[in-house]
Amino acid sequence: MNDNYNILAVFEYSTEAHITKSRLDSDGFDTMLMDEKTIDSDPLISNAIGGVKLLVHKNDFKKATEIYNEIRTYQKDEKGNNFSCPKCKSNKILVALPFRKNIFYMLFPFFEIRKLICNNCKTLFK
């Protein structure tokens, strides 16, 4: 990876990455995709190599992050309603990365309870 670029976001498929990249490119940001061709040739290895990475020039990273946080998709409940952060009441909620400290959850990750995280205040909740 080029030292002048930082990873803004990671996507499972390149089509998702291209949508965000196109928006940032139209706003004049210097962006590039990493691992795009590898995943396009075999989509099943996306999780193994960490997905398609959207890179943004480090000089534009802060402003690009603000734009990305405005356009990204946030989590909704089963009825399509937005989740709300218990601390700051924001509706910008994401699925938190799994912790998997227990060997049981490493072997059977589908038993692990999904946790949510607020994109504003970083509060972790269920």
* Together in a domain, 29 and 80: no
Which tens digits make up the pLDDT trace of 64-101? 999 988 887 777 777 778 788 888 888 878 777 666 67
Closest CA to 93 of 83, 103, 101, 102: 83
* Together in a domain, 80 and 105: yes
* Together in a domain, 80 and 23: no
* Together in a domain, 14 and 67: yes
CA distances (Å), origin 20, targets 9, 28, 35, 89:
9, 13, 16, 26
Which tens digits make up the pLDDT trace of 99-124? 667 777 667 777 777 788 888 888 88
* Together in a domain, 63 and 77: no
How many structural domains comprise the chain?
Answer: 2
Mean pLDDT of the chain, nearest integer? 84
